Amino acid sequence: MMSRSCQRACLLIWMITSSFSLLLAHDGVHVDVDRINKRIESSDDPGSLYLMRAKLCRAHGRPELGLKDCQTARGCGVDAFAEKFERALCLRDTLRYDRALALLDELVERSETAPLDVLSQRSGIRERLGDIDGAIIDLSRVHAIRADLESVLRLGSLYEKRDAPGLAANLYRQMIKRAGESALLTISLIRASSASGQHEEALSLIEKQLKNAALKAPWLQRKAEVLTAAGRAEEAQAVLILALTDLDKIFKRRPVPIHRVTRARILRLLGRLDEAQAELEKVLQQAPGYQSARSELERILTLQDEVRKKQD
């Protein structure tokens, strides 16, 4: 049988080698992580540093390393609430939504006043899982105390997903009245106003933006969409031609991916699907990770399939 002193020696060796391998696993993640590695090596009480490193690993796309750091931090006796919250975010970023949600539920239930950051993150996970009503409840609690631009845009988007664009439009109007206009708020209000049948309000907002816009095509595209929703298809087509003309001026110089995506959307609205597809394929050759281009291409491919089915 192994002696007690021998057992202690083996345990000490295991702890040293485990810590060393954990440090090596984090090498090269990011320069900020490298700095924390050095501080961990020299610290007598590294628990909070492990938790800090977990946040950095998650922020730099390595949430699986963050989970390991959370486990180590937990063994060092860090604040249980902070560790569980960070673990939930790492679980979310490794797509383990159910486990992340369970941890956030626990944090909310054990707090007399649920922290806003926990409610905000739980709202996001509920939305991903399709629980739009639950997401709205959480984010409404956040918005009641912290009505900033982010919470307004997210809550409005949830209302729109819940087929309540009128509620979303009211929320955007209130924020504009309180904090002033911003491009994101204006675009959101245009979308929600049009969806709730307030087409003239949406068109008025667009005309205001067109007066000062250096590049008019994106706003003309939105105008065409509102006109189409209002049943004014011929006017919409004329506006889309104007938008293409505006973009052509840019294309004579040096088109950038975002302009090609805008052009593809306009071509789609004009029914010129093959040309739109070609534009997006050029974008994705330059920037394979451009999500807006990829989403638009998927939409166009779906439309092309529908056209082919009708022809058959």
CATH of the domain at 78: 1.25.40.10
**Residues 310, 245 within the same domain:** yes
Last residue of a domain, one of 146, 174, 201: 146
Quick one: pLDDT at residue 113?
A: 77
**Residues 141, 115 within the same domain:** yes
Last residue of a domain, one of 157, 187, 212: 212
Q: Is residue 233 part of a domain?
A: yes
How many whole angstroms separate alpha carbon 74 and alpha carbon 50?
9
**Residues 245, 176 within the same domain:** no
The number of distinct structural domains making up the chain is 3
Quick one: pLDDT at residue 255?
A: 76
**Mean pLDDT of each 10-residue bin along the chain, 312 residues long:** 49 44 51 79 87 91 93 92 96 97 95 88 97 98 94 97 97 95 95 97 97 93 97 97 91 83 94 95 92 95 93 82
Q: Is residue 208 part of a domain?
A: yes
The residue type of 265 is R
**Residues 312, 243 within the same domain:** yes
Q: Which CATH number characterizes residue 207's domain? A: 1.25.40
Last residue of a domain, one of 212, 231, 248: 212
Under a CB-based contact definition with an 8 Å cutoff, are residues 225 and 194 in contact? Answer: yes
Q: Is residue 25 part of a domain?
A: no
Q: Which domain holds residue 233?
A: 214-312
Under a CB-based contact definition with an 8 Å cutoff, are residues 155 and 171 in contact? Answer: yes
Quick one: pLDDT at residue 60?
A: 86
Q: Is residue 48 part of a domain?
A: no
Q: Is residue 10 part of a domain?
A: no
**Residues 172, 241 within the same domain:** no
Q: Is residue 40 part of a domain?
A: no
**Residues 306, 218 within the same domain:** yes
